[in-house]
Amino acid sequence: MDLSKDPREPDPRAALADLLAFYAEAGVDAALGDAPVDRFAESAAERSAPRAAPRPDAAAPGAALPVAASPGTAAARREIARAPAPSPGAPSPGAPPPPDRAAADAREAAASAPDLDALRALMEGFDGCALKLTASRLVFGDGNPRARLMLVGEAPGRDEDIEGKPFVGRSGKLLDRMLAAIGIDRTSAYIANVIPWHPPGNRTPTPQETAICLPFIRRQIELVNPDVLVCLGNPSTQTLLGSKDGITKARGRWMEYDTGTRRIAALATFHPAYLLRTPLGKRMVWRDLLAIERKLAETKPEAG
């Protein structure tokens, strides 16, 4: 027993563990910086910082008063009060554009990408999806871009957000084992997600976020141009294959996906994250894997 401690004092480790558990439940699951930043203090300091003397012709009606306001003075407070208020509904600076506009921008950007490197660069520079603000990085794709098999999941998880590659966490490890069962690894498959940014707290992406990201994954599929497309889980199946059925009904049935330049065989199967929770589903996925293996053999281009 540690006699130097007052038993009536709360244990700081327990309090910290409670706080961390609270953060995790609230969806705060990634550290974006090493030290906390007090944004309130930052903006208060900005407001009270002395301004540079304005040009004599700079004052417009309703503009801030051209006074050298020292921090905290009545003049400074009046100056702040006179600054034009943002009009209601006006986007705040740095905020992504409205979803329709963002989806149109994404369509235009995606269509202009001649290859995967250009597409990745365009997506890195795209600011239309708010998920980018909370994600650490873009999770573009992994594997062989010339593979005949492409698999598409829903959205990166926390591990993928850290590594910048799709399916590297627990469900990714299971996916690798599933593929290995039919002799496939990441040198013979290409893997991506419908949404390329990790949603905070692993929440489900909103329909708007999905609509904004859709042109990017569609272009990515078109550029990889696989012979077989596999949708992992319900969101990917419904988004890419337009299926209205739940995954239990949709899985295991061959469908077609139109890349924009050709129609390719597409199959839905259970998401590996579901299989981690429901191991019985592996029996059905085994059948799907065998069907994928057969389809790849059937569609193999003649050598020579």
Q: Which stretch binds ligand URA (CB under 6 A): 17-25, 39-47, 151-159, 249-257?
A: 151-159
Q: Should residue 171 be labelled a site residue for ligand URA when binding is judged by CB under 6 A? A: yes
Structure tokens at 101: 């506009």
Q: Which stretch binds ligand URA (CB under 6 A): 32-40, 59-67, 118-126, 161-169?
A: 161-169
**CA-to-CA separations, 142 to 100, 105, 151, 153, 211, in angstroms, rounded:** 29, 25, 10, 12, 22
| Contact letters for ligand URA, residues 104-143 (x by CB under 6 A) | ----------------------------------------
Q: Should residue 166 be labelled a site residue for ligand URA when binding is judged by CB under 6 A? A: yes
Q: Which stretch binds ligand URA (CB under 6 A): 13-21, 24-32, 55-63, 159-167?
A: 159-167
Structure tokens at 31: 């550290």
Residue with tokens 């007090």: 38
| Contact letters for ligand URA, residues 214-233 (x by CB under 6 A) | --------------------
Out of 96, 128, 157, 226, which residue is the one contacting ligand URA (CB under 6 A)?
157
Q: H helices then E strands: how many in the chain?
A: 13, 6
Q: Should residue 238 be labelled a site residue for ligand URA when binding is judged by CB under 6 A? A: no
Give me the torsion for CA of 207, 213, 217, 220, rounded to 10°. Answer: 170
Residue with tokens 């051209």: 66
**Residue 191: its H or E element:** strand 190-193
Q: Which is nearer to ligand URA, 128 or 272 (CB)?
A: 272
Write out the binding residues for ligand URA, residues 260-279 only, by CB under 6 A: 273
Per the DSSP assignment, residues forming a β-bridge with 230 are: 151, 267
Out of 96, 143, 154, 239, which residue is the one contacting ligand URA (CB under 6 A)?
154
Q: Which stretch binds ligand URA (CB under 6 A): 55-63, 167-175, 215-223, 239-247?
A: 167-175
Rounded CA gap, 26 and 14, in Å? Answer: 18
| Contact letters for ligand URA, residues 22-61 (x by CB under 6 A) | ----------------------------------------
Q: Which residue is nearest to ligand URA (CB)?
A: 153
Pairing of strands 263-269, 149-153: unpaired
CA 8 to chain centre: 46
Cβ-contact 148, 172 below 8 angstroms: no
Minimum separation from the CB atom of position 139 to ligand URA (A): 6
Q: Should residue 156 be labelled a site residue for ligand URA when binding is judged by CB under 6 A? A: yes
Any alpha helices (H) in 9-98, and if so which ranges? 12-26, 39-48, 74-82
Q: Which is nearer to ligand URA, 119 or 195 (CB)?
A: 195
Per the DSSP assignment, residues forming a β-bridge with 67 are: none
Q: How many CA atoms lie within 13 A of 67 on its CB side?
A: 14
Q: Which is nearer to ligand URA, 105 or 160 (CB)?
A: 160
* Cα Rg of the chain, angstroms: 26
Structure tokens at 199: 């949603």
Q: Should residue 160 be labelled a site residue for ligand URA when binding is judged by CB under 6 A? A: yes
Out of 184, 193, 221, 292, which residue is the one contacting ligand URA (CB under 6 A)?
193
Sites of contact with ligand URA (CB under 6 A): 153-157, 160, 166-167, 169, 171-172, 193, 273
